[in-house]
Chains A and B, each alone.
Chain A
Amino acid sequence: MNLHLPSAPHTHAPDSVPRIMGLVLLAVAPTALYGLILFGWPALNLLLVTVLACLICEAACLSIAGRPVKPSLWDGSALLTGVLLAVSLPPWAPWWIGVLGGFFAIVISKQVFGGIGQNLFNPAMLARVALLVSFPVEMTTWIHPHPLFSSAAPGLLDSLAITFSGISDVDGVSGATILGHVRTQLGMNQTLGQILPEHYQSGIAALGWTGGSIGETAEWLALGGGVWLLWRRVITWQIPVAMIATVAVLAGGFHLLNPDRFADPGLHLLSGGLMLGAFFFATDPVTSPTTPIGQLVFGAGCGALVYIIRTWGGYPEGVAFAIVLMNAATPLIDHYIRPRIYGRTWGGQSRPVKRPPAGSGEAP
Chain B
Amino acid sequence: MKLFDFWGGVHPAGHKHLSADQPIRIMPPPARLQIPLQQHTGLPALPVVKVGESVCKGQLLARGQGAVSASVHAPTSGTISAIGDFTAPHVSGLPLPTITLDSDGEDRWLDREPLPDPFALVPEQIAVHIAEAGIVGMGGANFPAALKLNKARQAKVHTLAVNGAECEPYMTCDDRLMRERAAGIVDGVRLMLYALQAPQAVIAIEDNKPDAIISMTAACHGDPQIRVVVVPSRYPAGSAKQLIQLLTGLETPAGGRGTDTGVLVHNVGTAYAVHRALRQAHPLISRIVTISGGAVAEPQNLEAPIGALVEDLLGFCGGVNGEIAKLLMGGPMMGQPLPSRQTPMVKGTNGVLALTAAEAQLTTPSPCIRCGRCVDACPMGLMPLEMSKRARHDDLDGALAFGLIDCISCGSCAYACPSHIPLVQYFEYARGALEAQERAEQKSKETRRLLEQRQARLARAEQAKVEAAAKRLAEKQRAKAAKAGVGVAA
By a beta-carbon cutoff of 8 Å, the part of chain A in contact with chain B is 1, 5-13, 15-17, 19-20, 71, 75, 115-118, 236, 285-292, 295, 334, 338-344, 349-356, 358-361, 363-364
Contact = CB atoms under 8 A, between A and B. Distances in A.
A334 to B, nearest CB: 8
Interface in B408-465: 409, 411, 414-420, 422, 424-425, 428-429
Contacts of A355: 250, 260-262
B425 A6 contact: yes
Contacts of A118: 367
Contact of B333 (A9, A286, A351): A9
A341 B361 CA distance: 30
B405 to A, nearest CB: 10
B169 A11 contact: yes
A116 B419 CA distance: 11
B285 to A, nearest CB: 28
Contact of A350 (B254, B368, B418): B254
A350 B254 CA distance: 5
Contacts of B330: 8
Interface string B323-360: 00010101011111101000000000000010100011
Contact of A7 (B91, B253, B379): B91
Contacts of B339: 5
A10 B326 contact: yes
Contacts of B419: 16-17, 117
A61 to B, nearest CB: 14
Interface stretch (B6-14, B112-120, B211-219, B268-276): B6-14
A343 B407 CA distance: 11
A341 B424 contact: no
Contact of B250 (A19, A117, A338, A353): A353
A286 B360 contact: no
A289 B335 CA distance: 32
Contacts of B417: 13
A344 B406 contact: yes
B416 A15 contact: yes
Given A7-B428, A11-B13, A343 B420 contact: no
Contact of B254 (A8, A351, A361): A351
Nearest to A19: B418
Contact of B248 (A17, A71, A364): A364
Q: Which 9 A-B pairs have the closest CB atoms?
A: A9-B411, A290-B372, A285-B371, A11-B332, A343-B254, A117-B367, A10-B332, A339-B381, A350-B254
B263 interface: yes
A107 to B, nearest CB: 18
Contacts, number: 194
B363 A12 contact: yes
B241 A10 contact: no
Contact of B241 (A338, A342, A354): A342
A359 B417 CA distance: 44
Nearest to B328: A10
A295 B7 CA distance: 17
Query: For chain A, what secondary structure do more than half of its interface residues adopt (helix, strand, loop), or is it mixed?
Result: loop
B383 A290 contact: yes
Contacts of B370: 117, 285-288, 290
Contacts of B334: 8-9
B299 to A, nearest CB: 16
Contacts of A9: 12, 332-334, 411, 414-415, 424
A343 B254 CA distance: 5
B342 to A, nearest CB: 15
B411 A359 contact: no
Contact of B335 (A10, A334, A349): A10
A27 B256 CA distance: 47
A48 B251 CA distance: 55
A340 B383 CA distance: 10
B230 to A, nearest CB: 14
A10 B330 CA distance: 11
B159 interface: yes
B52 interface: no
A265 B366 CA distance: 42
B333 A11 contact: yes
A246 B420 CA distance: 35
A9 to B, nearest CB: 4
Given A11-B359, A285-B372, A5 B251 contact: no
B277 interface: no
Contacts of B295: none
A350 B255 contact: yes
A357 to B, nearest CB: 9
Contacts of A360: 158
Contact of B381 (A6, A15, A342, A356): A342
A339 B199 contact: no
Given A11-B169, A364-B1, A364-B202, A117 B406 contact: no
A341 B241 CA distance: 12
Contact of A338 (B248, B333, B368, B383): B383
Contacts of A340: 381
B381 A341 contact: yes
B360 A10 contact: yes
Contacts of A286: 369-370
Contact of A291 (B263, B332, B353, B372): B372
A111 B420 CA distance: 22
Contact of A117 (B169, B260, B368, B414): B368
A12 B415 contact: yes
A285 B385 CA distance: 13
18 contacts: A9-B334, A9-B414, A10-B337, A12-B414, A13-B418, A17-B369, A117-B369, A285-B370, A286-B370, A291-B383, A338-B383, A340-B381, A342-B381, A351-B254, A355-B260, A363-B159, A363-B248, A364-B2
A354 B253 CA distance: 10
Contact of B385 (A287, A290, A354): A290
A17 B261 CA distance: 41
A358 B366 contact: no
B33 interface: no
A353 B169 CA distance: 32
